[in-house]
Amino acid sequence: MQQVRLSPVIQTALREGRPVVALESTIISHGMPFPKNVETALHVEQTVRAAGAEPATCAILGGQLCAGLSVPEIEHLGRGGQAIPKASRRDIPYLASQGLDGATTVASTMIIAQLAGIPVFATGGIGGVHRGAATTFDISADLQELAQTSVAVVCAGVKSILDLGLTLEYLETHGVPVLGFQTDEFPAFYTRKSGLPVDYRLDSPADIARLLRSKWTLGLRGGAVIANPVPETFQMDPQQIEAVIAAALEDAERQHIKGKAITPFLLARIEQLTGGQSLATNIELVCHNARLAAEIATALAL
């Protein structure tokens, strides 16, 4: 069986050496309700196209790893919602062997992208070390994937429900470079600043492509985090969002929500507590990241 099913458009683009950007599907099934999820997914794809690259939304459909989905397939994931399993690295063998569907996380999208030969991936925010991980050991599989899978991830930093400082320490330990696009400071997803530095600041997609090419040419496997702050117009008030996150975390603890269920729960609760403002910011930053990813992919393809 072919490792990854490529859509005809993606197959042609890769064969011709044209830029392609991988996109995840957890944001479709677990990120927001239908039909907003489908509308957003198609809008992000169009953003990639407008910036000169082909979008390859990734998912597991009928047990097959896929890069490049049709509109009906995206609608299937959107209508299925949380009934579609959230698929990380550990889930891929089970879903593949049982012929099931899966919405790909950062980690599993990176795996599909690497198998397909797509070096750049755009998402909202990566997973990381959870608050209280010193006792829970709750650390996202996204971080280990970044250490071993050679795909660059364009994001607005780490989801701010997490422990940003410990996440950066983990990435440093595993040799994953954290690059700030036109910023010296690591963004905090909903806001542009966290008070924490990036490893290196690079101010153009060409500079980022040059670093990625050097890393992989030297045989240094693993990805890179390209931190792209949310546009200033759409960032949220830092004190407001921190208070909302604290309230959402208390709700999760009270309801004993843990594991892979906690991130979707927290994001949905934050949306409720902010009256939808957090979702609007999330959509804007995903599109912002998709645009930059397309520019980096284009520079890599030259």
Residues acting as catalytic residues:
24, 159
Cβ atoms < 10 Å from Cβ of 190: 29
CA–CA dist 49, 62 (Å, integer): 27
Tokens 């829970």 appear where? 136
Angle at 276 between CA 239 and CA 132, to 5 degrees: 50
* DSSP code of residue 260: G
CA–CA dist 239, 201 (Å, integer): 26
CA–CA dist 177, 27 (Å, integer): 25
Nearest to residue 182, comparing CAs of 165, 161, 198?
198
Could you give the residue ranges of the DSSP H alpha helices within 71-199? 71-80, 92-98, 106-116, 133-136, 141-148, 164-173
Note whether 174 and 129 are within 8 A (CB).
no
Pairing of strands 54-61, 64-67: antiparallel
